[in-house]
Structure 1
Amino acid sequence: HCKEEGELIDKLFKGYNKNIRPVKHPEDKLDVDIKLTLTNLISLNEKEETLTTNVWIQIQWVDYRLMWNTSDHHGIDTIRVPCNNVWLPDIVLENNIDGKFDVAYYANVLLYNNGGIFWLPPAIYRSTCSIEITYFPFDYQNCTLAFRSQTYSANEVVLHLALDDTPPNVMIEWVDIDPQAFTENGEWAIVHRPARKMIYERYTPDDLEYQEILFNIVIQRKPLFYVINIILPCSLISSLVVLAYFLPAQ
């Protein structure tokens, strides 16, 4: 099987140019599907207004140059190759705060015989998050992870939210959470996690800023620590001060 797979890889990548967008005509647009899976909400730094998350970012597209007939290759329908061997859509976290646009580990991509490419690299992202503490410690924070292609416009690469694998294959309009891998945060609870594609009409499709995929994470502070250590003692002291006025003067 190793020999047959090696022969298939040699055949597929003979003359393959990973620097060329995989479309048959220059005016064609390439569809790229994105899904975000949250494995750990590491921290929210309120002073620096920074959200740190551990995620898996799933990116899928079709490269017509990497198709093959399974019957000609011993029934092989899937192969794995290093991601730096194929064209990549340059999807980056636009609102990162530390200048690290890339993923934590460049995992292999899965190639399917129909030309489909599946890439699931892990990443630790530090993104900007505007903090609103008016109702502290009973506050909610709305943090966003914004993804777009760093080098391709909407006339070249069209970004979409991924579709669910199971019928009826609905669009995944939320941040996915893997229940087996997810670790709860001690200070914050996730209450809402919508996702959507944004089109900014003030730009044209030729501009890189025209389209973005936004993943929102709405979190609620767990107030028990502050209630027991701040609010309750202050309330008791205030009550004692008020009761002092009811004591006899003598």
Structure 2
Amino acid sequence: MGCEMVPAVRWAVQGAQGKFAYKLMNDLFANYSNALRPVEDMDKAMNVTLQVTLSQIIDMDERNQILMAYLWIRQVWFDAYLRWNKDDYDGLDTIRIPSSYVWRPDIVLYNNADDQFTGSMETNVVIRFDGQIMWDSPAITKSSCKVDVSFFPFDAQQCRLTFGSWTYNGNQIDILNHLDTGDLTDFVENVEWEVLGMPAKKNVITYGCCSEPYPDVTYTLILKRRASFYIFNLLLPCVMISFLAPLGFYLPADSGEKVSLGVTVLLALTVFQLLVAESMPPSENVPLIGKYYIATMTMITASTALTIFIMNIHHCGPEAKPVPKWAKKFILQYMSRIFFVYEVGESCRRPKPEPGKVPKVQEINGQAKRKETTAISNKCAENDDPKSPQKMEDVLGHENAFKKDASSEWKENGKYSEKGGGGNESGHSECSKAHCLCHNERLLKNIEYMANCFREQKAAQKRTGEWKKVAKVMDRFFMWVFFIMVFFMSVLIMGKAI
């Protein structure tokens, strides 16, 4: 029976308190007005204590420089006309009524960037018997925030939330901060921003429009960007693409893909640059990742231009001038060994023979030709009379006369006639010797012509090969130079992340 009577007693007590609450409501607001500042002495300032709790960061719009946050705002003040003796109302010490019934301080967010200017939610206020009023209201605020993107995506921002009275000056309302910092106990972690702190500071400012001081409380929200998303989606692809640019120097010049690779890499980086530019404010401060993109694009542009220059060297035709001596010594001898550029069949252990050492026959070409002519002439003479070498000189002395007589006799009789002092046998011998000599001279001229053509062709091939090797050495040199540049640029940009 005792347990069954407890709820009944509770309902009776609550019903009695409800009656006293209605009586208290009627007594308090019988002659109350929420239009005037509720103080007994109008010359004294009313103290309003402000406390802000950060619940969530909804959005940070860097391009428009607007911070959107979800806040819980608590304001506490004393109303001189809302007091009662709790013993007269059955110990009732607090009541909760709509906030529109009581006077409220017009504390607003000074740097509000909301186009609709929506205020706090109309929630109830808690009134104590001593006149203390506590008003807790949630609010979604849009505040202007000066964004510095110089070190994007490794940047930190400081956004200020300034609260103050819009119409009351410091002689009428004095704003106090409840704590030296904003409350972050109920903060919901943001995926993009990390909150490092929210210090609070009271300021008293005299504006140009008015001579009275206006106090305010400024909360500085210190944010640090979580850069993992940007590292994996913007930075690492750019680094990998950048390492493709020096490989264009390693491509063979005959492949026809050297310039197209550089242009493709340049276009890819341009796309990433546009993605960054769309999300950043159009300010004079270039983001760190934007500087990296610009430096990389400049490097790729330079590498493409150098590739075109080197390809012109590679495709020098046979009409090209010989490689200068300084280039032969510096590029073909020293730099080719440093960058391990060897021709086909050549290695670092078996260097190719020096260009100055040629076969002995080529060095004494003239002497060899004379010996060859003498040998052929002697052979032609010995076919007739091996024991009389003097006959060759006689044939050489009478060659012109023989050609003239032989040609005229051929025209008259259709065949050669026998002339001279040697009779039939002597004429036949001289004819054979002259015919052999004429035939050998024409053969030597043809051989000499072909040899000259071959030597010119070999010289042209040698010049072309030397220019191709110069181009290959320059390709290797610029490849390592640009690899080092890309490496150091990537280390610098990654150092900011660490």
Same fold, TM exceeding 0.5? yes
Larger radius of gyration: 2
If asked which structure has higher relative contact order (CA below 8 Å, sep 6+), I would say 1
For residue 120 of structure 1, give the secondary structure of its aligned residue in structure 2.
strand
Structure 1: gaps of 5 or more residues: 163-171
State the identity %.
35
Do structure 1's residue 51 and structure 2's residue 67 form an aligned pair?
yes
Aligned runs of 1:46-125 on 2, under 5 Å?
46-125=62-141
Equivalenced residue count is 238
For residue 163 of structure 2, give the secondary structure of its aligned residue in structure 1.
strand
Do structure 1's residue 192 and structure 2's residue 208 form an aligned pair?
no
- 183-192 vs 79-88, which moves further: 183-192
The answer on whether the counterparts of 1:18 and 1:85 sit within 8 Å (CA) in structure 2 is: yes
The answer on whether the counterparts of 1:142 and 1:216 sit within 8 Å (CA) in structure 2 is: yes
Task: Sort the Cα spacing of 1:193 and 1:211 in 2 relative to 1 into closer, same or farther, 3 A.
Answer: same
Task: Sort the Cα spacing of 1:101 and 1:175 in 2 relative to 1 into closer, same or farther, 3 A.
Answer: farther
Q: Aligned equivalents of 1:5 and 1:85: distance in 2?
A: 15
How far did residue 247 of structure 1 move? 8.6
Aligned runs of 1:121-136 on 2, under 5 Å?
121-136=137-152
After TM superposition, what 4+ stretches of structure 1 lie above 6 angstroms from structure 2? none
Alignment counterpart, residue 216 of structure 2, candidates 209, 212, 216? 212
Corresponding residue for 1:228? 232
Q: Which amino acid in 2 is paired with 1:22?
A: P
Alignment counterpart, residue 40 of structure 1, candidates 53, 56, 63? 56
Q: Which amino acid in 1 is paired with 2:71?
A: V
TM-score normalised by length of structure 2: 0.46
- 141-150 vs 232-241, which moves further: 232-241
Q: Aligned equivalents of 2:114 and 2:169: distance in 1?
A: 24
Corresponding residue for 1:177? 184
Q: Which amino acid in 2 is paired with 1:191?
A: L
Corresponding residue for 1:152? 168
TM-score normalised by length of structure 1: 0.88
The answer on whether the counterparts of 1:56 and 1:123 sit within 8 Å (CA) in structure 2 is: yes
The one-character-per-residue Cα deviations of 1:11-48 (angstroms, maximum 9, x if unpaired) are 11110111111111121110000000111100000111
Taking only aligned residues, the RMSD between alpha carbons, in angstroms, comes to 2.1
Task: Sort the Cα spacing of 1:240 and 1:102 in 2 relative to 1 into closer, same or farther, 3 A.
Answer: closer
Q: Aligned equivalents of 2:115 and 2:216: distance in 1?
A: 18
More strand by share: 1
Task: Sort the Cα spacing of 1:201 and 1:67 in 2 relative to 1 into closer, same or farther, 3 A.
Answer: same
The one-character-per-residue Cα deviations of 1:83-136 (angstroms, maximum 9, x if unpaired) are 111011111111111244453421000000110000001100001001100000
The answer on whether the counterparts of 1:129 and 1:142 sit within 8 Å (CA) in structure 2 is: yes
Q: Aligned equivalents of 1:213 and 1:132: distance in 2?
A: 23
More helix by share: 2
